[in-house]
Structure 1
C-alpha cells in the first residue's frame, strides 16, 4: 500500500519559491524609480506574493494538533516531486502576472497570464503591440521571468532545500531541462549550484559585452537575461533587428552557448575538451548550424539584394535563434523563400542540446530516433543478431529508447490535436499549426498570423488560455504535466 501524498513539503517548497519570486519583483523597482515610473505595481505585487508565501510557510510548519512539523515529515518522493513542480508553475504564473494587472499594462487576465507563462516557459510569444512605450520597470520584470524560467527556479531552490530538511533529487529530475541524467557532482544540490554558477556567469559576461558594444545598461541587462534563458523577449519592437551587426553577433554567440548542454559547458570551463567533443549531440548541433547557415546564406543572397555579410548574419541569427528556441528576430524569414520558410517551420520542432535552457524536442531524441531507425534495417537483414544502439560510445538502454519514442509520439499527437483545437477556435490552418508548434516548442515566432513580424495580441482569450497551457506542457516536457491526469498517479495501490 502506497503512502498518502505528503502535502507539507509541497507547501513548504512552493512558499520558498514565492519568496524568491516576490523578492525578485522588487529588483525592478530601481528601474521604475530611475525612469520616473510608478513603483507601486512591483512593490504591491511583491508584498502580495510574500504574504501568500508566509501563509503557506505557516501551514507547512503545523500539524493538525498545532505542533511544528518534523523534518521526517518533509521527505519528497516522486509523486510529491511532480506535484511540487506543477503547483510551483501554477503559483509562479498566478503571482508573476500581478505586476501586469496592478499596473494596467495588461489589464485582462488572459493577456497577463499569457505574457507571464510565455516568460516563465521562455517561449517569447507576446501580446504587447508596442513594447517601446511600456514602463521599463515592468519590461525588466518581463525579461526577468524568462531568466527565472530558463534554468528553472526549482533547480535553484534545490540548492537551498537541504537547509530546509528536504531532499531535491525528485525536483531536479522533474524540472531540469532536457532528457539527461548527467550530474556534475554526486550531491544534487552541488549540481544545481554549479548549473546556476555557469548560468549567472554567462549572463553577466554577455551583459558586459552588450554594454561595451553600444547598448545602454538597461537594454544590455534585459537582453542578457533573455538570451541566456533562450527566451527572446526584447525591449524593442523590431527585436534584434534594431541593433548593430556587432551586437547581433554577440547575441548569436550566447544563444549558441545557451543551447549547449550545461554539463559540456562545465567540462569546457575545466578544459576537458576531449570529453566535450565526444558528445554526438554537440557534433550534430554544430554541424546542423554550419550546414544550414551555408544553405540559407546562398538562398537569401539569391533572393535579396543584401550584402553577403548581412545574408550570412541574418541566416545564422535566425537558424541559431530557432534551433535554440530563443525567438529573437533579425529578419522576416517568412519573406525569403517558401522552401526556407518550410525549413524554419521544421526547426520549430528541433530544439538544441539536452541539459540546456532551450525548449523543443531536443537533438538527442532525434539522434536516438534516427540511429535506431537506421539500425532497424540491419536487424531486418540479421534478425538473430543483437544490434545495440550506441551513443557517445555507450549502449543506450532499451527503456530509454522506449521512453524517447513515447515522448516523440506524444509530442506529435499533442501537436496534431492542439492544431485541430485551434482550428475549431477560429484560426486558419497555417496559423493554427504555426501557433501550436511554436507554443509547444517554446520558440516564440511561428508562421502565418503569428510569424516573426506579428504577435499574439489579436488572438481570442480562449486561444491565449489554451496556448498558455500548451507552453507549460512543452516546457516541462509533457510527462511532468500529463502524469497528473493519469489514474496511476493518484491511486494508492
Structure 2
C-alpha cells in the first residue's frame, strides 16, 4: 500500500477545498455577512491540514487500482467533513449530522436537504451549497488532475476511474492531464453559457450563479423554498434543456470539439438516453390529463420533471407527489436508470442498463440456440467478459446495499413509499423522493442513524459503489 501517495493526494484535496472557499468568503464580503468568518476559519483549517499532509512529496509516486479507490473514497469523505464546518461554526446548521448530510448531498450532487426554510440562510451559505454541486459534478480529483501532475503517467488513470461515473473510463487524448483539462474547459464553458441565458431571462446574478452551479452539477439545491417554481417559463425551459445537456456523456462534447462529429452522433448510449427521455415525457403528458392544465402546461412540467429526475438533478416546478401513480412509476423508473456514463448525473447509468439487457437477451438466445456463438455489442464494439462481469457485480452490489439501506431506514417507522423513495433518491443522487420526502418536504424528520445511512448511500452512489466498498473492506488493510 502506497500510504505516502494517498496522504499526498488527500493533502492536495484539502488545499484545493480551501481555495474553493474563497468564493463564499467573497460573497460574504459583498453582502456584508458575519457568517463569512465561518468560511475563513474553515478555509484556514483546510489549508493548514492540507499543507501538513502534502508538504512532503512521497518518494514512491506509483500506485494502482486499490490506492486509487482508497484515495478517492477518503478524499470525498474528508472533503465533506471539512466542507460542512462552515454551517456548524456559523450556527446556520448547528447539528453536525445535519450539516454533514447537507454537505454530502451537495458534493455528491444529490440535492436532498434537511432545511425547512432555505431562504433564511445567508447568501454565502446558499452559494456554498450550490457551489458544492458544481465542484462535485465533474469531480474534485479530475480538477486536480487537470492542474497538477499528482502521480504522473498512467497511474493518474486509477484516480479518474475511481471518481468518474460509468462502467469504464479511458483516456480520450494521449495525455490524461490534457483530457481532464479539456473536460473542465467544456464544463466551465457550458456553465458560463447557462449563466448568460439566465441573465437574458431576467434572473438576478446571484440566482443565476447558484442555479447554474446546481444545474451544471445536476445537483438540485434551490435558493427558494419552492425550488424553481417561482421563475418564469423561459427560465424553467432553459433549465430543462441544460439539465439534459449535462446528463450527456461528456465524451460526446469531447468528440465534437475535436471535429469528430460522426463518431459523436454514433454514440449508442446518447441515442438511448434521449429515446428513454422523450418516451417518458410523452407518457407523462398523456397520463396527466386535462385536469393538470393545458397541453402545453402538461408537456412543460412533464419535460422538466422527467429531465430533472433522469439527470438526477432534483429541481421541481410542481409537487409531483400529487401526480397519478402511473406518472410516479415512470419517475421512479427514471431514478434508477439515471443519466449517461461520463456525465455529471447519477443513477445506474444508461450504458449499464443497455448492456445489462443486451446481455440478458444474449443469454436467452444462447439457451434457444446453444450451438450458436453470440456476442454482445455496444457502441459498435464487442463487450468483453470483464466488462459484463463488472456490470453484473455492480448490479448485485447495488441491489444488496439498496435493500439493506431500506431496512435500516425503516426503523424510523415511516411508510414504505417514503423510505423506499428516500433511499432511491439519495442512492441515485437525485434529491426529492415521494411521500414525506417529496419535493415540498425534506429529510430532517429522519433520525441521526438514518441520515448517516442516507449520507453513506449518497457517497456510494456518486462513487459507483466499489471505492467505498474497497475502503471499508478488511482485506484492503491487510499486509
TM-score by length of 1: 0.94
Counterpart among 455, 462, 466 of residue 468 in structure 1: 455
Aligned residue runs from structure 1 range 67-216, under 5 A: 69-70=58-59, 73-162=60-149, 167-216=155-204
**Contact 1:151 1:177 (8 Å CA) reproduced:** no
Report the more deviating stretch, 402-411 or 115-124: 402-411
User: Separation in 2 of the partners of 1:7 and 1:448?
Assistant: 45
User: Separation in 1 of the partners of 2:198 and 2:417?
Assistant: 36
User: Separation in 2 of the partners of 1:399 and 1:310?
Assistant: 46
Aligned residue runs from structure 1 range 188-337, under 5 A: 188-304=176-292, 306-337=293-324
- Runs of 4+ in structure 1 over 6 Å off: none
**Contact 1:19 1:50 (8 Å CA) reproduced:** yes
Counterpart among 50, 55, 71 of residue 53 in structure 1: 50
**Contact 2:412 2:446 (8 Å CA) reproduced:** no
User: Separation in 1 of the partners of 2:165 and 2:178?
Assistant: 17
Counterpart among 14, 29, 51 of residue 18 in structure 1: 14
Deviations 1:260-288 (A, max 9, x none): 00001122234433212211111111111
Aligned with 2:336: secondary structure? coil
User: Separation in 1 of the partners of 2:222 and 2:259?
Assistant: 33
Aligned with 1:387: secondary structure? coil
For structure 1, the 5+ residue unaligned runs are: 62-68
Aligned residue runs from structure 1 range 331-480, under 5 A: 331-480=318-467
User: Separation in 2 of the partners of 1:409 and 1:180?
Assistant: 17
User: Separation in 1 of the partners of 2:168 and 2:238?
Assistant: 28
**Contact 1:281 1:353 (8 Å CA) reproduced:** yes
Aligned with 2:296: secondary structure? helix
Instruction: Give the C-alpha shift of residue 487 in structure 1.
Output: 4.2
User: Separation in 2 of the partners of 1:163 and 1:470?
Assistant: 28
Aligned with 1:480: secondary structure? helix
Q: Return closer, same or farther for 1:404/1:165 CA change in 2, 3 Å cut-off.
A: closer
For structure 2, the 5+ residue unaligned runs are: none
User: Separation in 2 of the partners of 1:100 and 1:255?
Assistant: 28
**Contact 1:183 1:263 (8 Å CA) reproduced:** no
Instruction: Give the C-alpha shift of residue 484 in structure 1.
Output: 2.5
Residue of structure 1 in register with 2:24 after alignment: 28
Q: Return closer, same or farther for 1:379/1:21 CA change in 2, 3 Å cut-off.
A: same
TM-score by length of 2: 0.96
Deviations 1:432-472 (A, max 9, x none): 10111111101101112111111112221221111111111
Q: Return closer, same or farther for 1:265/1:32 CA change in 2, 3 Å cut-off.
A: same
Residue of structure 2 in register with 1:65 after alignment: none
User: Separation in 2 of the partners of 1:93 and 1:291?
Assistant: 37
Aligned with 1:97: secondary structure? helix
User: Separation in 2 of the partners of 1:252 and 1:223?
Assistant: 12
Report the more deviating stretch, 37-46 or 350-359: 37-46
**Contact 1:15 1:57 (8 Å CA) reproduced:** yes
Deviations 1:362-418 (A, max 9, x none): 011110111121222221121011100011221100111111011111111111111
**Contact 2:147 2:181 (8 Å CA) reproduced:** no
User: Separation in 2 of the partners of 1:256 and 1:233?
Assistant: 17
User: Separation in 1 of the partners of 2:51 and 2:322?
Assistant: 52
Aligned with 2:305: secondary structure? helix
**Contact 2:106 2:129 (8 Å CA) reproduced:** yes
Equivalent pairs counted in the alignment come to: 477
Aligned with 1:27: secondary structure? helix
Instruction: Give the C-alpha shift of residue 187 in structure 1.
Output: 1.5
